[in-house]
Amino acid sequence: MEEALSYIKESPYGFLVKREDFEVFLELNMERYIYDEFMRLKRTSHMNIIESMVYMHQMEYEIRDLFTIFEAKRYGFDKKETRKYLVRIRPEPSPLPQSGL
């Protein structure tokens, strides 16, 4: 496991596993990375199928964030704690790179 982890840390996706508690936020960080890539594509691609794909994924992430907010309310999280688990909103500046896939 350590060998695989060190390999990932040296790859372009190393930012996903830099934190000590990366296991907790790994899926969320991957979703944020994908969301950011879709937003980058939205800015750079016009009048093609990418716009439709980006729109569908935007709606998916919006629905996921709504479910996260509902669950956070259910378990009594405050706003600051809830923001940690949202895909589209960052609790602090994003550590995700701006490069393409």
**Any domain includes 72:** yes
How many whole angstroms separate alpha carbon 29 and alpha carbon 18?
11
pLDDT tier at 98, thresholds 50, 70, 90: low
**Any domain includes 7:** no
Radius of gyration of the chain (CA): 15
Length of the chain equals 101
**pLDDT at 24 exceeding the cut of 80:** no
pLDDT at 14: 80
Find the Cα–Cα–Cα–Cα dihedral 35, 6, 83, 58, rounded to 10°: 10
**Any domain includes 8:** no
**Any domain includes 5:** no
pLDDT at 75: 95
**Any domain includes 58:** yes
Domain of residue 98: give its range: 19-101
Is the model's pTM score more than 0.75? no
**pLDDT at 94 exceeding the cut of 80:** no
**Any domain includes 1:** no
Residues 7-17 pLDDT 10s? 888 888 787 77
**Any domain includes 75:** yes
Residues 43-84 pLDDT 10s? 998 888 989 999 999 999 999 999 999 999 999 999 989 998
